[in-house]
Structure 1
Amino acid sequence: MPRVSFAPPSLCLTFLPLLHRLLPSLPPTVRDVDVPPLFRERFILAGYRPVGLSWRCYVLSLFQIHNETLNVWSHLLAAVCVVMRLMAFTGPEGQGFSVDASSLPLVLYVFSAITYLSCSAAAHLLQSHSEQAHYSLFFLDYVGVAVYQYGCALALCLYSSSTAWTQSMLGQVFLPAAALLAWLSCTACCYAKLRFRRPYPLHRKLCQVLPMGVAYLLDISPVAHRLSTCSWTSNSALPLHFLQVVLFLLSAFFFSCPVPERFSPGSFDIVGHGHQLFHILLSLCTLAQQEALFRDFLWRRPALVREFGEQRLLLACASFPCLTLCCAITAFAMRRKAQAQLMKEQR
């Protein structure tokens, strides 16, 4: 009977040391008492990555189990799904999709979704490098959120609104008000991050939640009007819009309340804490919203230019990079303040 050898081939013996050098073993995670207060989360007792490692270690921690792993992967995978769904839509399903005045708001919406998902994933993956990096990356995260808020507002206003809502007083002032609230949300979140230290007071959370809550109520008003005045069987996008509203409200609950970890500190450090549930629900909300907007786009595109006018559509799209620039400047100014504050504390 022939013998079977289980010895690894010589190629593996050559490749494994190279792989080990490229992907070195990472330091084990530590408990909350082993990292500065800035990096701790309430009721999360373990699974923290040590502060002050090289950037490469934090990049490679994408493949490590820690208390940010699901936060990162949920938004990374959602970003990939957004891109793949767009690529599928631009085929035959998109009925001759091309980038013009009528489709540009949809392209900007997809760009805004990828931006917020990518910025969030980067912030949670790399923020443990240093206090300066922590502030800078979360300021970038807030810019991504504001960009997504306005990308949603732009697309929902143009594709998901009824004629009655568009001609109302709210419809006339909608986009300027949405841009202002998106910038205010970014500014308030940056300010709250910089101003308050742990243990965080209640008004820090209110400073973050209230501007975003008001912005969401405004941004979703075109959809709320259609859901309340139209038959849901008349348009296949309406059940998806209802689903994305439910998912957003659930995600807002877990963002605002540290549950379930509050009731069993240490039990949900790696899987299941509130911020992870917030990330997962928000990712699902984005995918449902994207699908609804694709269907609304096909529904509204034939009459969109005639109803709004090409010049007005292009002007509305031009406001998107202006809002992005304003938020980026605000985040950069807050970063400078954070840097000065950290230097002052180190003296």
Structure 2
Amino acid sequence: MLSLKLPRLFSIDQIPQVFHEQGILFGYRHPQSSATACILSLFQMTNETLNIWTHLLPFWYLLELVTALYMTDIKNDSYSWPMLVYMCTSCVYPLVSSCAHTFSSMSKNARHICYFLDYGAVNLFSLGSAIAYSAYTFPDALMCTTFHDYYVALAVLNTILSTGLSCYSRFLEIQKPRLCKVIRVLAFAYPYTWDSLPIFYRLFLFPGESAQNEATSYHQKHMIMTLLASFLYSAHLPERLAPGRFDYIGHSHQLFHVCVILATHMQMEAIFLDKTLRKEWLLATSKPFSFSQIAGAILLCIIFSLSNIIYFSAALYRIPKPELHKKET
């Protein structure tokens, strides 16, 4: 019979500092794992296993939803194009995230590059959200205003800046971990805040008659889950309070992944309800996005985000190794 030998696991004091996770003491993979070993680690319990599966399984579910939407003759329904784009970007970020966690143990530079790509995918999703919000969720008073006209264009700029900042933050991980965390959180908080301005206006100021519908409760739940996810990502709880107790199950990044997926689900429900319930009013009030507008925004985001990723990836190989992996002071 064939026997499958799973990769050996290591403790925190056996691997380079760049691979360390706060409060996680055991279950690390070899810091120079092969691609095969990384894939095999999907089927053994490491401190990354649930990080991978909490995004990989939702990806397949979301992909089925995208396929179902595409089969509804969406090519002839320009009103639904923003929804399709949003749902496609909602598939991309969990897939890229699961791949990043899978292959991040191949080398120190591979770890950084994997997460550069992860940040780019998250920002692409942020732009997809902005496109859907602009098309379906804007409160009545903000429709056809200057803010509405430039909302998506500035969302594109935000994704480019956010990708650059979050990639740059990885160069500070060892020497300035607190500054690294602050920059990274701000890099993602700013695009989220910009995207959510119409929702804040709608929930806390004047929604307008057409926006007073069942989607409101889902927008509220989405906001709560996003805030919870942000807290877990920043606080490193509960593993910071009991190092070694949550190495495999229950640490903050796993909980963060679950909250992010739940937040996406709530957001998707809210957008779908707005799209359905406000259709008549929206078509009478504003003009649907054209294909060139949507494609242009997405392509600009991809081109400039990839340029950021390539630039910072190349910078990894220009920095002398003693500086890149200098011990924390």
Task: Give your verdict on TM over 0.5.
Answer: yes
Tell me what 2:327 maps to. Answer: none
* 8 Å contact from structure 2 (residues 210, 281) kept in 1: no
Work out whether 1:56 is the aligned partner of 2:36: yes
Q: Secondary structure at the match of 1:267?
A: coil
Counterpart of 2:53, as a letter, is W
Tell me what 2:318 maps to. Answer: 340
Counterpart of 1:259, as a letter, is L
2: CA distance between counterparts of 1:271 and 1:239? 31
Shift of 1:241: 1.2
Gap change, CA 1:311 and 1:292, over 3 Å in 2: closer
Work out whether 1:221 is the aligned partner of 2:203: no
Shift of 1:70: 1.1
Q: Secondary structure at the match of 1:47?
A: coil
Work out whether 1:264 is the aligned partner of 2:230: no
User: For 2:180, which of 187, 195, 204 is the aligned residue?
Assistant: 204
- Structure 2 regions of 5+ residues with no counterpart? 325-329
Alignment map for 1:1-347 (pairs within 5 Å)? 16-17=1-2, 20=3, 24-88=4-68, 97-98=74-75, 100-193=77-170, 195-198=171-174, 200-228=176-204, 229-230=206-207, 234-302=212-280, 304=282, 306-310=284-288, 314-341=292-319
Residues 126-159 of structure 1 deviation map (CA, whole Å, 9 limit, x = unaligned): 1001112111111110110110111111111111
2: CA distance between counterparts of 1:297 and 1:303? 10
Residues 224-252 of structure 1 deviation map (CA, whole Å, 9 limit, x = unaligned): 22223348994222111111110000000
Gap change, CA 1:345 and 1:207, over 3 Å in 2: closer
Counterpart of 2:254, as a letter, is Q
Shift of 1:50: 1.0
* 8 Å contact from structure 1 (residues 232, 239) kept in 2: no
Shift of 1:329: 1.1
2: CA distance between counterparts of 1:56 and 1:320? 33
Gap change, CA 1:345 and 1:252, over 3 Å in 2: closer
* 8 Å contact from structure 2 (residues 140, 211) kept in 1: no
Tell me how many residue pairs correspond in the alignment.
322
Residues 7-65 of structure 1 deviation map (CA, whole Å, 9 limit, x = unaligned): xxxxxxxxx42xx4xxx311231101111111111111011011222211101211110
Q: CA RMSD in A?
A: 2.4
- Structure 1 regions of 5+ residues with no counterpart? 1-15
Gap change, CA 1:344 and 1:329, over 3 Å in 2: farther
* 8 Å contact from structure 1 (residues 243, 288) kept in 2: yes
2: CA distance between counterparts of 1:282 and 1:125? 18
Which structure is larger by alpha-carbon Rg, 1 or 2? 1
2: CA distance between counterparts of 1:101 and 1:284? 28
Residues 257-291 of structure 1 deviation map (CA, whole Å, 9 limit, x = unaligned): 11111111111111111111111100111111112
Q: Secondary structure at the match of 1:185?
A: helix
* 8 Å contact from structure 1 (residues 132, 342) kept in 2: no
* Higher deviation after alignment, 334-343 or 73-82: 334-343
Counterpart of 1:85, as a letter, is L
Q: Secondary structure at the match of 2:45?
A: coil
Report % sequence identity: 29
Shift of 1:90: 6.0
